[in-house]
Chains A and B, each alone.
Chain A
Amino acid sequence: MNKFIRVNMTTMQVTTEAVPEKYIGLGGRALTSNFVNDEVKPTCHALGKNNKIIFAPGLLSGTTAPNSGRLSVGSKSPLTGTIKECNTGGLFSQKMAKMGIKALVIEGMPADDKFYIIKLDVNGVTIEESPSEILGGCGNYETIQILNEKYGSKVGMAITGPAGEYGLPSANISFKDPESNIRSAGRGGLGAVLGSKKVKAVIIDDTGAQPVPLVDPDKFRAASRVFAKALLDHPVAGQGLAAYGTDVLVNILNEAGGLPTNNFTEGRIDYNDLISGETMNATITERGGEGKVSHGCHPGCVIRCSQWYPDKKGKYITSGFEYETVWALGADAGIRDLDLIAYMDRAMDDVGVDSIEVSVAIATAMAGGLIPFGDGERALELIKEIAQPTPLARIIAGGCSIVGKLCGMFRVPVVKDQAIPAYDPRAVKGIGLTYATTTMGADHTAGYCISGNILKIGADLDPLKKDGQIEYARAMQIGTAAIDSTGMCLFVYFGIGDNPDGYQALIDMINAQYGLSLTATDVDKLGESVLKVERAFNKNAGFTNAHDRLPEFMEYEPVPPHNVVWDFTPEEIDEVYNF
C-alpha cells in the first residue's frame, strides 16, 4: 500500500502522494489516530472546516488472512469532542488495500450546499455531484440500490445517511456489505463529519487491481493456516458466535446481574428469553426463507457472528443484529418483542445512526417521559422520523447525553457524552474501567473486559471485585489498539486469547507480508503508542483525568440483584493509563 490520497472538498483538488515516511509501518487505527493527532486541530469544531476524516485499511487487509477486512475511520468526534476511531466491516477495506491505497483523507468543505460523490478506481479519483434522488431523507438501503445501478453492483461504498446529512451527533457511516446490505462505522457521529464535508458517498471500484504483494508468500500462507485453525478450533470463535451471534450475551449478562435494565436501575430482567440469542437462533431457524443463522460481514470472515433475521414470512429484515442493540431496546427500554427490535435495527441502519447511541437515547427518553416506557411502536416511528427529521427525532438522534439534559435527569449513562453500552459497570467492574478511561468515550470494544470477567476467556477475574481489574483493563485496551491496527476483526481475540501459537501466527503474517521481524513485545508497544497518541490529542482538546469518570449516580445507586455500586477511587481509575 503505497498511495496516500487527499481529497480537498474546499478546492475540489485531489492529490495522490507516496505514503509519508512516518506512516509507512502503520495501518488501521494506528494510522488514523496518528494522522488525526498530527493534522487535526484538537480544539476545532468537529463539523467545521478544520476537522479531517481519514479511512485506512489495516496492515493485513486485502490479503487472504481470515477476518482481515476491517476498516478504520478516524476523525474528531462531534459526539464526544475526543479523537475517534470507528471500525467497520463491509467491502471497503479490502478494496482499498488491493488498490494500494494506504489512506484516504477528506478535508475542507465546499462553499456551496451541494452534496458530492467521491469515486476511487484504478485510474484515479473523481468528484461529482450526488444524484438528487438519494438526498434529503432517502434511506440507505435504497441509496445502495441506486448507486449499484449507477456504478455497478460490485463496487464498495461508504455512505452518509440522512442523519449524517443533517449533522446529527449519532450519525454513522454506512458501508455496503457483500450482499448490498449495511455495516456501520457506528459510534461517535463520524457520519456527521462526512456530511459536513458534503460527501454523500465514497465509491470504490477495484476492477483491475492486483493482489496485495507479499514479501514471503510461503511463510504467509503457513502462518495464515495456523491462524485460521486457531479461530476455527476455538469453540467461541469457531462455533458459538456463528450459531447464536453476539445476542447470546443477553442470558449471560442477565444471569450475572449485569444487564442494565429500565435505564440502568436494575441488572436483570425476567423476560430474557423473549430477546435472547437462543431465541434469535430458534426464530431464524424456524422461519427459514431468507433467514440465516450465520453471516460474515466481509469476504474471508470465518467467524460469521452476523445473521439474516427474517420476518414471519421469511423475508430479510436486518443483519448484524447485535447484542448491544437488542439489550438497549429490549432490557433498558423494555421493548419485549424481538421482531419489533429487528425493525428498529433496520430503521436505524436505514437512516444512518449508531444503533447503540440511539437505542440508549430511546431508553433515556422513556425514563425522562418523552416516550412511554416500553413503547416500541412509538420508538420505531421516531427512528423513521430521523429521515425528515422531526424535532423529537432530532433530539433522540442527538444521543443519550442530550436527551438526558433536556429531560432534566441525573441518571444519564454516558462517559464523555457517549452512551454506555450493555454491561453495567457496577456489576462488571473491569468494563467500567474501560468505559471511564478509553480515549473514545464509553466503548465496550475499546477493551472488552467482559471476556475475563464473565466469559472466562483470556483471564479469570471476579466481576464484582476490584482485584486485578486495573492491570486487566490496561492490557485489554493496549491489545485492542494493536488488533485494530491490523485490519483484524476484534473477535479473533477469542481464538487467540488463550492460544499463544495463534497469536504468534497473527504476528508472523504481518512479518511475512512486509518482511519484518516483529515480536509480541513490539505489538504491545504499538498498542501503547496508539493509546498515547490518542490521549495526547484528547489532552490538547481539553480533556483531563476528571473526564475519565463514570456517571456519578453509579457511585451511590446500588444496582440489583447484587446491590453493588461503582467503587473505584479516582486515583485507582487514573492508574489504568499509567504506562
Chain B
Amino acid sequence: MKITVKLFATLRNYYEKEFSLEVPDDATPGTVVKQLNLPDKDIAIIMINGRGQKLDAPLSESDVLALFPPVGGG
C-alpha cells in the first residue's frame, strides 16, 4: 500500500520533507523507520493523520505518517 511520509527538523537531513512510500500491508511507524534506515533515537513524536501514535500503531492505505525528532518550544 502507499502512504505519505512527512519528515521534520533534523530528519530532513536524510530525505526530502514529504514523499509517498510503498509499504507492506502490515506496516507500522516502526517498520517504516527501519525501511528508511532512520536512527531510532531521532524519532520522538509520531503522528498518523494528525493524531499522536506509538511505533507499533497500524498504518492504512493513504495514511499520512509524520515523524519528528525530539523538539520542543513554548
CB pair B47 A256 closer than 8 Å: yes
Contact of B9 among A248, A448, A462, A562 (CB under 8 A): A248
Which residues on the B side are within 8 Å of A457 (C-beta)? 70, 72
Chain A 479-503 against B: per-residue CB contact (8 Å), 1 yes, 0 no?
Answer: 0000000000011001000000000
Q: Are A462 and B8 in contact (CB under 8 A)?
A: no
Q: What's the Cα separation between A322 and B68 when bound, in Å?
A: 19
CB distance B74 to A240 under 8 Å? no
CB distance from A445 to the nearest CB of B (A): 7
Other-chain residue from B47, B72, B73 in contact with A255 (beta carbon distance below 8 A): B47
Contact at B45–A454, with CB atoms within 8 Å?
yes
Interface: A86 (CB within 8 A): no
Contact size range, B: 20 to 34
Interface string of B40-74 (1 = CB under 8 A from A): 01001101001110000000000000101111111
Whether B17 and A236, one on each chain, are in contact in the complex, defined by CB atoms closer than 8 angstroms, is no
Contact between chains at B74 and A252 (CB < 8 Å): no
Partner of A273, one of B17, B44, B70, B73: B17
CA distance A224 to B71 in the complex (A): 24
Contact A257:B74 (CB < 8 A) given known A235-B69, A252-B68, A273-B17: no
At the interface, yes or no: A456 with Cβ under 8 Å from chain B?
yes
Residue of B nearest to A445 (CB): B74
Q: How far is the CA of A491 from the CA of B73 in the complex (A)?
A: 8
Neighbouring B residues of A278 by C-beta, 8 Å: 8-9, 12, 17
**Residue B2 is within 8 A (CB to CB) of chain A in the complex:** no
Closest to B18 in A: A273
Tell me, yes or no, whether B10 is within 8 Å of chain A by CB.
Answer: yes
In the complex, A334 has a CB within 8 A of chain B: no
Bound CA span A249–B74, Å: 8
Chain B residues near A247 (CB, 8 Å)? 73
Q: Kindly report which residue of chain A lies nearest to residue B73, judged by CB atoms.
A: A246
**Inter-chain contact B74/A246, CB cutoff 8 Å:** yes
CA distance A494 to B66 in the complex (A): 22
Q: Are B72 and A464 in contact (CB under 8 A)?
A: no
How many contacts A-B (CB < 8 Å)?
A: 90
Contacts of B71 in A (CB 8 A): 236, 240-241, 244, 248, 252, 277, 455
A131 in the interface (beta carbon within 8 A): no
> What is the chain B residue whose CB lies nearest that of A490?
B74
Contact, CB under 8 Å: B45 / A240 = no
- Asked if A240 and B9 make an inter-chain contact with CB atoms under 8 angstroms apart, the answer reads yes
- Which chain A residues lie closer than 8 Å to B45 at the CB level? 252, 454-456
Choose from A256, A268, A463, A494 the contact partner of B72 (Cβ within 8 Å): A494
Indicate the size class of the contact surface on chain A: 35 or more
Tell me the nearest residue of chain B to A247, going by C-beta. B73
* A450 beta carbon closer than 8 Å to chain B: yes
Task: Check A464 against B51 for contact (C-beta < 8 Å).
Answer: yes
Q: Which residues of B contact A115 (CB under 8 A)?
A: none
- A245 interface hit (Cβ, 8 Å): yes
The smallest beta-carbon distance between B16 and chain A, in angstroms, is: 12
Interface residue? A444 (CB, 8 A): yes
Contact B50 A245 (CB under 8 A): no
Out of A236, A249, A445, A454, name the residue touching B70 (CB < 8 Å).
A236
Q: Which residues of B contact A463 (CB under 8 A)?
A: 52
Q: How many whole Å from A492's CB to the nearest CB in chain B? A: 12
Cβ of A285 within 8 Å of any chain B Cβ, yes or no, is no
| CA distance in complex: A463, B50 (Å) | 11
Query: A323 to B68, alpha carbons, bound, how many Å?
Result: 17
- Residues of chain A in range 133-161 having any CB-CB distance to chain B below 8 Å: none
Asked if A391 lies at the interface with its beta carbon under 8 angstroms from chain B, I say no
Give bound CA distance, A462 to B74, whole Å.
19
User: A570: CB under 8 A from chain B?
Assistant: no
Contacts of B10 in A (CB 8 A): 243
B contact residues around A257 at 8 Å (CB)? 50
Within 8 A of A (CB), among B16-50: 17, 41, 44-45, 47, 50
Closest-by-CB residue of A relative to B74 is A448
Chain A CB count within 10 A is highest, among B41, B66, B70, B71, for B71
A259 to chain B, nearest CB (A): 11
Cβ distance B32 to chain A, nearest Cβ, rounded Å: 16
Question: A14-54: contact bitstring with B at CB < 8 Å (1 yes, 0 no)?
Answer: 00000000000000000000000000000000000000000
Shortest beta-carbon distance, B39 to chain A, in Å?
12
A333 close to chain B: CB less than 8 A: no
Q: In the complex the two chains form, is B74's CB within 8 Å of A444's CB?
A: yes
Q: How far is the CB of B52 from chain A (nearest CB, A)?
A: 7
B29 shortest CB reach to chain A, Å: 13
Given known A-B contacts A244-B9, A445-B74, A456 and B52 have beta carbons under 8 A apart = yes
With A246-B73, A462-B51 known, 6 other A-B pairs at CB within 8 A are: A236-B71, A243-B10, A255-B8, A277-B9, A444-B74, A562-B51
**Chain B residues near A (Cβ < 8 Å):** 6, 8-10, 12, 17, 41, 44-45, 47, 50-52, 66, 68-74
In the assembled complex, 5 residue pairs joining A and B whose CB atoms fall closer than 8 Å, in A order, are: A243-B9, A273-B17, A277-B9, A323-B73, A562-B51
A contact set with B: CB distance below 8 Å: 234-236, 240-241, 243-249, 251-252, 255-257, 268, 273, 277-278, 305, 322-323, 444-445, 448, 450-451, 454-457, 462-464, 490-491, 494, 561-562
